[in-house]
Amino acid sequence: MSTTANLTRTEARERSAHLHLSEYRVRLDLTGATDPARATFPSTTRVRFTATTPTTFLDFLGEVSAVVVNDRPVDAASVYDGARVRLDGLRTDGSDNVVIVEGAGHYSRTGEGLHRFVDPVDEQAYLYTQYEPADARRVFATFEQPDLKASFVFEVLAPAGWEVLSNRAPEQVADVAVQGPAVRRWRFAPTERMSTYLTAVVAGPYHQAAGEWSAALPGGETLTVPLRVWCRASLAEHLDADRILEVTRQGLGFYHREFAFPYPWGKYDQVFVPEYNLGAMENPGCVTFTESYVFRSAATRAQYQARANTILHEMAHMWFGDLVTPRWWDDLWLKESFADYMGAHASVAATEFTDAWTAFANRRKAWAYTQDQLPTTHPVVADIPDLEAAKQNFDGITYAKGASVLKQLVAYVGPDAFFAGARAYFAEHAYASTTLTDLLAALEATSGRDLTAWARLWLQTAGTATLAARCTVQDGEIVELVVTQDGTDPVTGEEVLRPHRLAVGLYHLEDDGDGLALVRSHRLEADVDGAATELTAAAGLPAPDLVLVNDDDLTYAKVRLDPAGLETARAHLGALRDGLARSLVWSALWNATRDALLPAGEYVDLVLRHGPAESDSAVLAGLTVNARTAVEDYAPAAERGARRAELAEGAWQRLTAAEPGSDAQLVWARAFAAAAAVVPGAGGRARGLLDGAERVAGLPLDPELRWSLWRALAATGSASRAELDAELERDPTADGVTQHLAAVSSLPAAAVKAADWDTLLRPGGLTNDHVDATIAGFAQPAHRELTAPYAEPYFAALRRIWTEHSIEIASRLVRGLYPHHQDAAEGTVAEAHPAVRRTTGWLEANEDAPAALRRLVVEARDHLLRSLRAQLAGARALR
């Protein structure tokens, strides 16, 4: 990213202080999109605004052919530097300035800007935009910052027969008289005031399913919102639109009631698009989703729950983020934390997925804990000095930790006060931009609480606290129960002891008629504030078999089980009847494994022992992924081979023992396929499933599972290129092409690694999805010896990667190609490992490298250090 492309917060504030925008009129000519040789599309922007300075700039990443300022033509070459269009001689008397910029944008293959995809099934072209945080400027000239809101009018020329969507419904669709293929002009209604990053254009022969939702308004009128769900034509047979529309109606009804602000964006389109970098994006009235939510293969309840959660997350943004928008990316967390919280909350309150907080506790919070323990952690309210930093901060702290903190805030002020504050916030700041201060003011007014100290400790400090129970027992009764808290801000090094409103569960083993069960006998709710808090209500209660701190998952903190609780979990975790409590214990065990307090091998044993009792497929899937990570990253080298075989065999046994057609069967099948990629001996069963020699009743051998098995065979050298090509002929879809690439890249041959390396480093050589697929194959954990020669070239290429690729692709390459599969040598320290020292050497020699690049390298080193420390601790435990 060039210097002028990396807009700073200071520049944005300066520009915002001098401008007030009225309207953009944007004209895009997409008629050439069906021609692969056409790399660009014509783009014309007409923007109207007032200014109090005679000089400012527009942002545009493309080619500029003409600039007109207040009817005065300007030499484009003299005012455009490749990222900014300088505007001079502006009117400052309060009258409107009108600027027109003509040029061309580039079709994207990276999911940034206007992405073009050609479906291999029918060779139809599909387009969609993705802008956040600052890629609208890849499509049209903009003032690219969230607080400069305006109304937008889009006009799009597209091939006749295409559908074209934007934030508003079209006002006019008309044929255009042209020579050659037929063309149609789409002119869309003006939007309400909104940020540039929220605008959207989707075009192509998309398939649609339609519906509507209605609700009563306070004046007795009825609000009716047209609903449509879209996907590529070749995916239409797999689009379960009825289920998607059902969740959509449930969500709109819930938010309509809770927010007391009518849905403000007219229509509600949801478009499932290919090669998408995100889960979804909250473009008002035109929400885009990854098409991986259109299930071509069998899906578990957890997958449907995840999709519903995402639908409701994006829908919450229609109010929090779209209607009211953060002023700058420092407050990105405001909208993302709120939407992440609401995704789970609305799932529980309005849909069939009443156990959504269980999946959140097990998976989303794990992401937060991981991110929050990195040396690059930051407060929830982060310091975002520029756009490169903004791009890096779409992380587990901004989303999952922020949502966890909001859940704690709801417990702290009460749900009624929280939602009353949200309603007041929307009413006061509709179509405007805000900061954290505005939200806190609304919540203080409705709750009567001063939130200054709470916000300072929870939002303006970094790191995660560790909570534990100290239970003193005598004669079968509790004498004293104390909750301890240990917390340090890793950024400042200072002690941070946060206030926690939490619950402590006391669990006992008893026969519940279905066998021995671990059941909660008492729930103690308390305010924990300080290093130690005694729960006086526990005195005299029967001694528990398990004390679970943060039961019901009300707060954000790592939890350590006490020795008695750990022994109970080892023996009886599967007997814990409550799903959320079980998930919290699993979380504590995984954190202990990552922190080198629980040997990786023991974690794998626990998953295989108690996993079959797990009824939540989201939790079970997470356990099997964690088990693989434990084996590959945290188990010592001397133990790894045996643990790999144990995990593959254990997954197979549980697959064959599971109820036919159940979610558990499918999860264990996927776990077996993944484990087989590092166990050559498992290849016979994998091939048997593919050719029918092994049959498992109820197990669907659909495309997803078949490709997983083929990747496993490829990684162990048990499949040929010809066999992989034959599978592609069987599944020539877009996903089939991507999976085939991953499988071919998984072949254990030096020539394959060399070709993949060259292709990955070549700018523009692969699409975003194909970059991921190639990295996955290149970095197979069983191929450590084959990838070892690329450690030095990796560090030599880092700066070139950053400058020659977009930030999205460069970030994937920096993360994915880092030499993270390493073995710790016994008797050493992690910091002395050659890969760690090589990384440290690069960081010391490249202090002037872009901050976003250095952050990725620092994080990669920390992940490696954690892996090596766990391996060394595991080796000591084996002695």
What is the distance between the alpha carbons of residues 36 and 141, in angstroms, rounded to a whole number? 24
**Is there a contact between 366 and 298 (Cβ–Cβ < 8 Å)?**
no
**CB-facing half-sphere around the CA of 12: CA atoms within 13 A:** 22
Give the residue from 169, 94, 167 showing the smallest Cα distance to 136.
167
CA distances from 86 to 200, 619, 781 (A): 25, 53, 50
**Is there a contact between 326 and 334 (Cβ–Cβ < 8 Å)?**
yes
H helices of 287-414, where? 301-317, 332-350, 356-359, 365-372, 387-392, 402-413
What is the distance between the alpha carbons of residues 500 and 526, in angstroms, rounded to a whole number? 8
Residues sharing a CB contact under 8 Å with residue 42, sequence separation 6 or more, in sequence order: 27, 28, 29, 102, 103, 104
Give the residue from 739, 621, 713 showing the smallest Cα distance to 671.
621
What is the distance between the alpha carbons of residues 661 and 96, in angstroms, rounded to a whole number? 65
**CB-facing half-sphere around the CA of 436: CA atoms within 13 A:** 21
**Is there a contact between 844 and 857 (Cβ–Cβ < 8 Å)?**
no
Cis amide linkage into residue 133, ω under 30° from 0: yes
Q: What is the DSSP letter of 781?
A: G
**Is there a contact between 443 and 454 (Cβ–Cβ < 8 Å)?**
no
**Is there a contact between 79 and 87 (Cβ–Cβ < 8 Å)?**
yes
Angle at Cα 719 formed by Cα 716 and Cα 720, nearest 5°? 130
**Is there a contact between 114 and 127 (Cβ–Cβ < 8 Å)?**
yes
Residue 314 falls in the annotated catalytic set: yes
Q: How many beta carbons lie within 10 A of that of residue 515, not counting itself? A: 7
529 SS3 class: strand
**Is there a contact between 865 and 596 (Cβ–Cβ < 8 Å)?**
no
N-terminal to C-terminal alpha carbon distance within the chain: 51
Tokens 């990053």 belong to 197
**Is there a contact between 411 and 501 (Cβ–Cβ < 8 Å)?**
yes
What is the phi/psi pair of residue 666, to 5°? -65, -40
Please name every residue paired with 156 in a beta bridge, in sequence order, or none if there are none: 28, 186
What is the distance between the alpha carbons of residues 76 and 82, in angstroms, rounded to a whole number? 11
Strand 324-326 versus strand 432-434 pairing type: parallel
Q: Which of 314, 388, 614, 632 is catalytic?
A: 314
644 SS3 class: helix
Length of the chain: 879
**Using H for helix, E for strand and C for coil, what is the string for 82-108?**
CCEEEECCCCCCCCCEEEEEEEEEECE
What is the distance between the alpha carbons of residues 336 and 120, in angstroms, rounded to a whole number? 35
CA distances from 131 to 7, 268, 434 (A): 15, 19, 20
Residues sharing a CB contact under 8 Å with residue 529, sequence separation 6 or more, in sequence order: 497, 498, 499, 500
What is the distance between the alpha carbons of residues 732 and 121, in angstroms, rounded to a whole number? 7
Cα torsion for 411, 416, 418, 421, to the nearest 10°?
Answer: -160
Which residue numbers are catalytic? Answer: 314
